[in-house]
Structure 1
Amino acid sequence: MRRYFKYLKEYKWHCIFGPLLKWIEAALELMVPLVMKQIIDVGVANGDIPYVLKYGGVMLAMGALGLGCAVFCQRVASIASQGFGTNVRNALFSHINTLSYREIDKVGSASLVTRVVNDVNQMQSAVAIILRLVVRAPFIAAGAIVLCMITDWQIGLLVTLVSVLVGLVLFIIMKKSVPFYATNQRKLDRMSQITNENLEGARVVRAFSKRDKERARFDGAAEAMLQNSMRIGRISAYLNPLTFALVNLGIAAILFVSGVKVNIGRLTSGEIIAVISYMAQILNAMIVISNMVSLFTKAHASMNRVSEVFDLQSCIRDGGNAQPDFTAPAIQFENVSFSYAGTDKYALTDVSFSLEKGKTLGIIGGTGSGKTTLVNLFPRLYDCSLGSVKVFGHDVKDYSQESLRFIFGVVPQNGNLFSGTVRSNLFWGNDKASDEDFAEALKIACAYDFVMEKGGLDQPVAESGRNFSGGQKQRLTIARAVAGKPPVLVLDDSCSALDFATDAKVRANLAALEGTTTVIISQRASSIRGADEILVLEDGRIAGRGKHEELYENCGVYREICDSQARAEA
């Protein structure tokens, strides 16, 4: 819990004044029954109207002052809690961005979204409640008990006994419900994951008429969450009835004892009214405490989930400050093997090759052969399990992550665009580029014409680029990478949505880039046919290596790919 105090540091005075104001309000509230007792025992008993009006005015003034304290406390608590939530959320988002793909895969993107949004909201609500009520409710409960003891020690003991029993009920219910709140957040993760998948794959779901199946899958996740919530509800359902029963029994016992004491002259009417008022205050305080316990239970579960993310450390650490040697080979793999977390099976096995600067490497293979895994090792999105990966003469582990990734311009196969404009997306490649640089990059990617037709560089880009076709998104992502003028350009099946003519034109434009080393991954043999060297992957191993002609002659896997595609095109 201490790790989160720093996120409240800039709200130090809010955290001091908020509880202080609530303490003043609580003290005023505790004084009200005492004033009421004086009005009844002195003013009403003696028929002294000026006395009643005087102390009635005092009660009104106390109420107004208490209201003012409560309003200001609400304000400062809101500012501090909102600021706390923002600080934690920003820190968590920044930390997630330092994690490698391996850690992100381990937790899951849907779970990370839930933790950044929902879990931090629970923690934020807890901070607000702490500043507003954590001082007030216990102070009123304890103060009311003490004042009851001062009024009459026997009645005070009764009040104390009832308060202890209510506290015991709260503790038992909290202990029983804590595990279920953590489970509830995991169920919420699952619902978020299914929702995410269906929103991103809406077209696929409809194309395969799987809406009913996906609805059933979501209903199953929702039902699982409902059942867990009902378990929490069944436990929590005992809280208010037991609390009210104990308090009402306590009030009944107090009234009985008070009646006896009034008859023998040990208590006055005003003192009875004061004791009953204190009992009501204790009841309200206990209800507030029970609600706080429920909220803190949820917040504690959420805090643990957020802490789990903060505790994750990237397995990829910055190495040294190596500078690229542009006279050395651009990329070298030496006996590289790689396996994903949670499996012993290698996705790549004993891969070795070298790519000279300025050359073009084509990579081809069937689905699941390890093509994307291979290029993810270039910019060190993952670390290899065995062997070494070198870039321009240095092991990738000797570079800082920032300088290494500056070397590569990666174009992913799914054409990710960000909401904004065409210009803001191209700035990702080079934030110092001019409009002329962007125009040149768009021309190389064969995207200039449709961008100018749609409104130029200021053309809006919807979420995930939904207002562009698949081919247009791919060309824009190619332009984004080219705008950065990277020494190594990596195209991960980035022309799969383009027609053959446009694909060929883009490749020709890229080949004309002077001094750029290009790696092209493609399912199409025609897309890599003109590469200086081609790697053929099969089950994570190199099945063939060389130029098109020699591979077609000597590599059965490559020949089969070429022939099957030629028949399909025919």
Structure 2
Amino acid sequence: MIRLAKYMKPYLWPALFSVFFIFLQSLANLYLPTLMADIVDTGVVQGDMPYIFKMGGYMLLVTLAAGVLTILANYLASKAAAGFGRDLRNNMFAHVERFSLQEFDQVGTSSLITRTTNDIAQIEQVYMMILKMMTMAPLMCIGGIIMAVSQDAPLSLVLVVALPLLIISISILAKKGLPYFKAIQKKMDRLNLVLREELTGIRVIRSFNRAKHEMHRFDEANRDITRTSIRINQIMSAAMPLMMLIMNLAMVAIVWFGGLRIGGGAMQVGDLMAFIQYAMQIMFSILMGAMMFIMIPRAQISANRVNEVLTIEPVIQDSECAESTLSTQNEGVTFQNVSFSYPGAEKPALSHLSFTAKRGETTAIIGGTGAGKSTILNLIPRYFDVTCGSVRVNGIDVKDVPLEELRRRIGYVPQKSVLFTGTVAENIRYGNTQATDEEVRTAARIAQADAFIQEMDHGYDSIIAQGGKNVSGGQKQRLAIARALVRKADIYLLDDSFSALDYRTDARLRAELAQMTHSVAVILVAQRVSTILHADKIIVLDEGKIAGMGTHDELMRSCAVYQEIVASQLSKEELA
């Protein structure tokens, strides 16, 4: 948690004033029992009503002041802690945004969500407790002991026995609970993972009638975290009765021995009442400290999990010599003897690939499942870095170009179309926030999306539901293509972006696309041969290696792998 304290720096003054007000509030609370003792010993015993009213007025003023100070201290502590949590979440989100796909796979999406929300909330809560209790608990404890001894030193021997018992009991319970605090955060990750999979895969679950199986999975994860939570609560629930027992026994002892000392004339009734209040303040300050020291280890676990994420350095980042050196003249994309292996993979996904996707040409990539088609596209915007060889854009190695500059030149349509909550226009404009309404409509028209958009209730102002649940797969793909086209990029990467389109829409879209992209490089991954028949260059992949390269006619004469793919999809009449 100390490493995260730097996020408290902007809130140093609210935190310091909060501590100062708590200090004054504690002094006021320590003064009240003394005033009460004076009222009893002087006013009540001697029947001096004016003195009672006078000292009672002082007590009301001190109580009012303590109340105002408490409100101010709590407000400032909450402001500092909430600001800390907000800044830490923002920083963590910005840091995660820099992650490559490798880091996302390393930590896990569900775990990142838990760490950004639940874990930071735990730390924020503890920081607020520290601001409020770190000053109050020691001051009330030490001040209470001093004031109690000043009231009656011999009677303070009761506290010498009670306080160590209280501290030992709290320490034992905290030690037993700590391992469960560590475990519950991991179980929360597991629960989030199962829940996320079930919510995102609900259609698959229903189509295969696996609802009961998924309910069982969720129930297991839920029961697991419930068992741990119950165990924690069992340990913590034993704390309060045990501590109250010790405190009440201490009170009985104080009243018993205090009564004997009053009977012997060694102390007055008011002094005993004040001593009891100071004893209660001391014990409650220990309870506050105990709560703090129970919560701090739990928050420390959360802080470690947050620090794990913040200390991860993305493997893909701008090199020290990276400059905005990409020329406006798009010469294309060149792969020079590129090989790539995923972390932990037994064999490379790509081996010794060399080709050039030229400006003004459409380069298509086809091959079997797992051949490495999408991997090629992922290497161009540096979602992954090559294991050996180089990927060059306009003759410059992509590693020597700032990521922002590189990706600004690329219009990317992923294999799985992703839409965001918002209007249709906002989703298309996501590719270019400065795009005019006319440019948005032009991109939609080329992507064959304008027609179905116009049929929606509010046209381009129609709302897209979370994850694009209110549009079909083909409509998602067309909106994703429009989003890439409105970017007016130098390179377009289309990862199997026509798979959900019918042949007629596919043909119209490719014809429109060819007119718009005649001066840029287009790299197209496809499963359907019909989509790539007229590509300027077709690259055939087989197990991560180039099995053939050329036009359709050339490959039909020279590449057996391509011939097999074509024969499995097209009839002789279609080929003719």
Residue pair 1:149, 1:157 contacting (<8 A) in 2 also? no
Alignment-derived partner of residue 7 in structure 1:
7
Q: Distance in 1 between matches of 2:347 and 2:186?
A: 28
Alignment-derived partner of residue 143 in structure 2:
143
Q: Does 1:347 align with 2:355?
A: no
Instruction: Find 1:445's aligned residue among 447, 455, 463.
Output: 447
User: CA offsets, 1:198-221, max 9 Å, x none?
Assistant: 111111111111111111111111
Task: Name which of structure 1's ranges 455-464 and 40-49 shifts more when overlaid on structure 2.
Answer: 455-464
Residue pair 2:330, 2:490 contacting (<8 A) in 1 also? no
| Deviation of 1:325 (Å) | 4.7
Q: Distance in 2 between matches of 1:30 and 1:242?
A: 26
The one-letter code matched in structure 2 to 1:78 is S
User: CA offsets, 1:177-207, max 9 Å, x none?
Assistant: 3332232111111111111111111111111
Counterparts in 2 of 1:143 and 1:451: CA distance versus 1, 3 Å? same
Query: Mapping of 1:40-439 within 5 angstroms?
Result: 40-319=40-319, 320-325=322-327, 329-439=331-441
Alignment-derived partner of residue 463 in structure 2:
460
Q: Distance in 2 between matches of 1:446 and 1:380?
A: 29
The one-letter code matched in structure 1 to 2:29 is E
DSSP 3-state at the match of 1:530: coil
DSSP 3-state at the match of 1:520: strand
Q: Distance in 1 between matches of 2:346 and 2:59?
A: 74
| Deviation of 1:57 (Å) | 1.8
Residue pair 1:525, 1:562 contacting (<8 A) in 2 also? yes
Q: Distance in 2 between matches of 1:86 and 1:569?
A: 64
Q: Distance in 1 between matches of 2:263 and 2:531?
A: 103
Q: Does 1:486 align with 2:489?
A: yes
Alignment-derived partner of residue 555 in structure 2:
551
| Deviation of 1:53 (Å) | 1.9
User: CA offsets, 1:332-377, max 9 Å, x none?
Assistant: 2222222223434322233222222221111122222222122110
| Deviation of 1:300 (Å) | 1.7
Q: TM-score, normalised by structure 1?
A: 0.95
Q: Distance in 1 between matches of 2:215 and 2:413?
A: 34
| Deviation of 1:326 (Å) | 6.4
DSSP 3-state at the match of 2:354: strand
Counterparts in 2 of 1:220 and 1:484: CA distance versus 1, 3 Å? same
Q: Distance in 2 between matches of 1:329 and 1:502?
A: 30
Q: Percent identity?
A: 39
Counterparts in 2 of 1:538 and 1:217: CA distance versus 1, 3 Å? farther
The one-letter code matched in structure 2 to 1:275 is F
Q: Distance in 2 between matches of 1:99 and 1:390?
A: 22
DSSP 3-state at the match of 1:409: strand
Counterparts in 2 of 1:161 and 1:339: CA distance versus 1, 3 Å? farther
Counterparts in 2 of 1:442 and 1:420: CA distance versus 1, 3 Å? same
Q: Distance in 2 between matches of 1:128 and 1:213?
A: 42
Q: TM-score, normalised by structure 2?
A: 0.94
User: CA offsets, 1:282-303, max 9 Å, x none?
Assistant: 2332333333333323322211
DSSP 3-state at the match of 2:385: coil
Instruction: Find 1:532's aligned residue among 536, 543, 546.
Output: 536
Q: Write out the 4+ residue segments of structure 1 that deviate beyond 4 Å after TM superposition.
A: 325-329, 567-570
* Structure 1 runs not aligned, ≥5 long: none
Q: Distance in 2 between matches of 1:167 and 1:568?
A: 87
Cα RMSD, aligned residues only: 2.1
Q: Distance in 1 between matches of 2:94 and 2:557?
A: 51
Q: Distance in 2 between matches of 1:95 and 1:387?
A: 29
Q: Between Structure 1 and Structure 2, how many residues are aligned?
A: 570
Q: Distance in 1 between matches of 2:19 and 2:518?
A: 67
The one-letter code matched in structure 2 to 1:518 is V
DSSP 3-state at the match of 2:519: coil
Q: Distance in 2 between matches of 1:227 and 1:351?
A: 53
The one-letter code matched in structure 1 to 2:499 is S
User: CA offsets, 1:25-70, max 9 Å, x none?
Assistant: 2211111111111111111111212222221222122111111111
Task: Name which of structure 1's ranges 324-333 and 108-117 shifts more when overlaid on structure 2.
Answer: 324-333
Counterparts in 2 of 1:171 and 1:328: CA distance versus 1, 3 Å? same
Q: Distance in 1 between matches of 2:18 and 2:311?
A: 31
DSSP 3-state at the match of 1:486: coil
Residue pair 1:150, 1:156 contacting (<8 A) in 2 also? no
Task: Name which of structure 1's ranges 79-88 and 290-299 shifts more when overlaid on structure 2.
Answer: 290-299
| Deviation of 1:23 (Å) | 1.8
Q: Distance in 2 between matches of 1:379 and 1:324?
A: 13
DSSP 3-state at the match of 2:570: helix
The one-letter code matched in structure 1 to 2:427 is N
Task: Name which of structure 1's ranges 474-483 and 146-155 shifts more when overlaid on structure 2.
Answer: 146-155
Alignment-derived partner of residue 517 in structure 1:
521
| Deviation of 1:568 (Å) | 13
Counterparts in 2 of 1:101 and 1:568: CA distance versus 1, 3 Å? farther
Q: Distance in 2 between matches of 1:344 and 1:386?
A: 16
* Structure 2 runs not aligned, ≥5 long: none
Residue pair 1:240, 1:287 contacting (<8 A) in 2 also? no
Residue pair 1:328, 1:393 contacting (<8 A) in 2 also? no
The one-letter code matched in structure 1 to 2:492 is L
DSSP 3-state at the match of 2:391: strand
| Deviation of 1:327 (Å) | 6.3
Counterparts in 2 of 1:542 and 1:235: CA distance versus 1, 3 Å? farther
Task: Name which of structure 1's ranges 346-355 and 61-70 shifts more when overlaid on structure 2.
Answer: 346-355
Q: Distance in 1 between matches of 2:495 and 2:570?
A: 22
Q: Distance in 2 between matches of 1:552 and 1:218?
A: 51
The one-letter code matched in structure 1 to 2:500 is A
DSSP 3-state at the match of 1:135: helix
